[in-house]
Structure 1
Amino acid sequence: MRNIFAVALGILTAIGGFLDIGDLVTNALVGSRFGLALAWVVPVGVVGICLFAQMAGRVAAVSGRATFEIIRERLGPRVAALNLSASFFINLMTVTAEIGGVALALQLASDVGPLLWVPVAAFAVWLVIWRVRFSIMENVTGLLGLCLTVFAVSLFALQPGWADLSHQMLAPVIPENESAATYWYYAVALFGAAMTPYEVFFFSSGAVEERWTVSDLGRSRLNVLVGFPLGGVLSLAIAGCATVVLLPAQIEVTSLSQIVLPVVAAGGKLLLAFAIVGIVAATFGAALETTLSSGYTLAQYFGWAWGKFRRPADAARFHAVLIVALISCAAVLFTGVDPIMVTEYSVVFSAIALPLTYLPILIVANDPGYMGHRTNGAALNIAASVYLVIILAAALAAIPLMVVTGAGQ
């Protein structure tokens, strides 16, 4: 049982990272419009985030410090400030979306309007961060998020034509009613969603929270190799369900409620109940991750005391940032902004900002001054360099594709 809970940080990071409100909708939307023609992006993103998180986790375990502490020290305050500004802005967008996502998920369960759930969701996130131990938070949220495996169960229950689905994945074709620009826009969006920087901020900071050392490097690899591929598999299952049920009916996903239509078709109310529990857990887990990441990034950059393992009185500025972030994001939601739209924009902007975080971690992971003899090996550096090229290409293409396609319209 101890070994099972040892991977909970990776599960929570993957569930919150791959399957937040924007990813849930985006994967279903892509399936309803393109079938599985964009399925190839998911494994590309999974391998990329595994490389990224593995380096960040190893840096945290060996040095005992998290991402922004090292970025500021290694690259200087000015370069780190640019990284901080972009990362913090995107993170706040994501907090807004995740709080709204929790509210939308609770609406599915209660039929009560989402705006009434926004303050409840924000307060619950603050209460868990303030009062619940980190290990309990990651175990409960991560394991409840596994209810999202109901999408994989539903895909099998729908008895699709596996040969056709395999052909769509292995020989992708852009549908006649979609443009090449739109296709590549969603490819960038899916890639940005898979490699969202806050996942790594949370993962590396969580390693410090749990006081990982060199002896925990095996645990770090286990977290990465179990958690992130799991998130990728569930992402493909959501897209597959949409391909089987929504694409033939020409239902383009525009709301959270449409995501669960294939689940209802496959197993009725019983599977729907599991889906709702999983969606609430995933969006709540993502809200915890992103809110904590807001405090992590600022506190680490400015050298403040930080961490859930510290009492609020001992890390007052860190906890103040969390409260201000939650209140601000909840206030934005009360303007009537669509949390799904916010997240879809945030994942594209994440792709744009990703090089600012990925490159410093790659540099530090190769610096013997921080890592001693535990720097990247040759094979890892080759793979990491290939992904640096991919990340730069996605970042450069994101804005032009957004403009040309009208954000995927």
Structure 2
Amino acid sequence: MKKLFAVALGILTAIGGFVDIGDLVTNAVVGSRFGLSLVWVVVVGVVGICLFANMAGRVAAVSGRATFEIIRERLGPRAALANLGASFFINLLTLTAQVGGVALALQLASGVGPLMWMPVAAFAVWLVIWRVKFSVMENMAGFAGLALIVFAVALFLLGPDWGDLANQVVAPAVPENEQVSVYWFYAVALFGAAMTPYEVFFFSSGAVEEHWSVKDLGLTRVNVLIGFPLGGLLSLSIAACATVVLLPRGVEVGSLSEVVLPVAEAGGRLALAFAIVGIVAATFGAALETTLSSGYTLAQFFGWAWGKFRAPVEAARFHVVMIVSLLVGLAVLATGVDPIMVTELSVVFSAVALPLTYIPILIVANDPEYMGQHVNGRVVNALGVAYLPVILLASVAAIPLLIMTGAGG
């Protein structure tokens, strides 16, 4: 049981990163419009986040310091400041969306409007961060989020034409009624969602929270190789369910009710209940991750005391940043902005910021001053370098595609 709980950090990071409110809707939108023709993007994203998260976790385990601390020290405050600004802005957008996502999930369960749930969600996030230990928090949110496996179960219950689904995966094509630019917009969005920068910052900071050391390098790999592929599998299950049920009917996904429609059709109320539990847990876990990441990034850059392993009074500025971030997100949501739209924008801007995050991680993971004998090996470096053109291309293409397609409309 102890070994099972040891992978909770990877599960929480993966579910919070892959299956937040934006991904729930985006994967359903992609499935309902493009079928499984964009599966290859999710696969590329999963391999990429596994590669760089493993680097970030190894850096934290070997040096005892979180990635953002070393990035500032290694690159200097000016270069790291650009990273900080982009990361914090995107993280704040994502935090806003996740709090709204929790409210939308609770609306789905209760029928009460999301505006009533938003302050409740923000208060619950603050309370957990303030009072609950990191290990309890990750176990609670991570394993509750596994209820989203009901999408995979629903796919089998729906009895699809597996040959047709496989053909869509191995021979991807743009549907005749869709524009090529829209197809590539969603490709960039899915890639940005898979490799959202806050995931690696949270993962490396979580490794420090749990006091990982060199002897835990195997645990780092286990977390990465179980957690992130699991998150990718859940994302693909959501897209596949939409492909089977929504695509033939021409249903346009615009809310969580359409996202869970295939589950309800396949398994009735019981399956729907599991889906709602999983969505609440996933969005709540993502809200915890992004709230903590807001404190991690600023505190690590400025050298403040940080971490849930410290009493709040010992890391006051760290906690103040998180409280202010939650309040800002709540204020934005109070304007009536659509949380799903906010998340979709954050995913696009995440793609823009990818080079600022992953190039420094690759540099630090190769620095013997911090890593000693645990620098990247040749295979890892080759893969890391191979991903750089992909990351740069996604970064350059994101904004033009956003403008050209009207955010995929």
Q: Same fold (TM over 0.5)?
A: yes
- Displacement of 1:26 in angstroms is 0.3
Q: Is 1:168 the counterpart of 2:168 in the alignment?
A: yes
Find the counterpart in structure 1 of residue 360 from structure 2.
Answer: 360
Structure 1: tracts of 5 or more residues without a match: none
**Deviations 1:103-157, CA, capped at 9 Å, x for gaps:** 0000011100000000000000000000000000000110000000000000000
Find the counterpart in structure 1 of residue 402 from structure 2.
Answer: 402
- Displacement of 1:257 in angstroms is 1.3
Structural RMSD (CA): 0.5
Structure 2 residue matching 1:373: 3-state secondary structure: helix
Structure 1 segments, 4+ long, off by >4 Å, are none
Aligned amino acid, residue 246 of structure 1: L
Q: Distance in 2 between matches of 1:64 and 1:388?
A: 26
Identical amino acids, percent of aligned pairs = 76
Structure 1 residue matching 2:373: 3-state secondary structure: coil
Structure 2 residue matching 1:40: 3-state secondary structure: helix
Find the counterpart in structure 1 of residue 312 from structure 2.
Answer: 312
- Displacement of 1:68 in angstroms is 1.3
Q: Is 1:272 the counterpart of 2:272 in the alignment?
A: yes
Q: Distance in 2 between matches of 1:388 and 1:131?
A: 40
Q: Distance in 2 between matches of 1:407 and 1:205?
A: 32
Aligned amino acid, residue 297 of structure 1: T
Aligned amino acid, residue 215 of structure 1: K
Q: Distance in 2 between matches of 1:105 and 1:65?
A: 36
Aligned amino acid, residue 190 of structure 1: L
Q: Distance in 2 between matches of 1:391 and 1:186?
A: 15
Q: Distance in 2 between matches of 1:33 and 1:143?
A: 31
Aligned amino acid, residue 46 of structure 2: V
Structure 1 residue matching 2:374: 3-state secondary structure: coil
Aligned amino acid, residue 100 of structure 1: G
Q: Is 1:39 the counterpart of 2:39 in the alignment?
A: yes
Q: Distance in 2 between matches of 1:80 and 1:384?
A: 20
Structure 2 residue matching 1:51: 3-state secondary structure: helix
Structure 2: tracts of 5 or more residues without a match: none
Find the counterpart in structure 2 of residue 339 from structure 1.
Answer: 339
Q: Distance in 1 between matches of 2:82 and 2:232?
A: 30
Q: Is 1:231 the counterpart of 2:231 in the alignment?
A: yes
Aligned amino acid, residue 20 of structure 2: D
Find the counterpart in structure 1 of residue 187 from structure 2.
Answer: 187
The total of aligned residue pairs comes to 409
Aligned amino acid, residue 11 of structure 1: I
Q: Distance in 2 between matches of 1:39 and 1:361?
A: 26
Q: Distance in 2 between matches of 1:364 and 1:320?
A: 29
Superposed counterparts of 1:290-329, under 5 Å: 290-329=290-329
Find the counterpart in structure 1 of residue 217 from structure 2.
Answer: 217
- Displacement of 1:406 in angstroms is 1.0
Q: Distance in 2 between matches of 1:213 and 1:135?
A: 16
Q: Distance in 2 between matches of 1:204 and 1:224?
A: 11
Find the counterpart in structure 1 of residue 131 from structure 2.
Answer: 131
**Deviations 1:161-204, CA, capped at 9 Å, x for gaps:** 00000000000110011111100000000000000000001000
Aligned amino acid, residue 245 of structure 2: V
Q: Distance in 2 between matches of 1:374 and 1:15?
A: 28
- Displacement of 1:349 in angstroms is 0.4
- Displacement of 1:400 in angstroms is 1.1
Q: Distance in 1 between matches of 2:83 and 2:256?
A: 32
- Displacement of 1:93 in angstroms is 0.1
**Deviations 1:2-32, CA, capped at 9 Å, x for gaps:** 1110100000000100000000000000000
Aligned amino acid, residue 69 of structure 2: E
- Displacement of 1:258 in angstroms is 0.8
Q: Distance in 2 between matches of 1:371 and 1:389?
A: 25
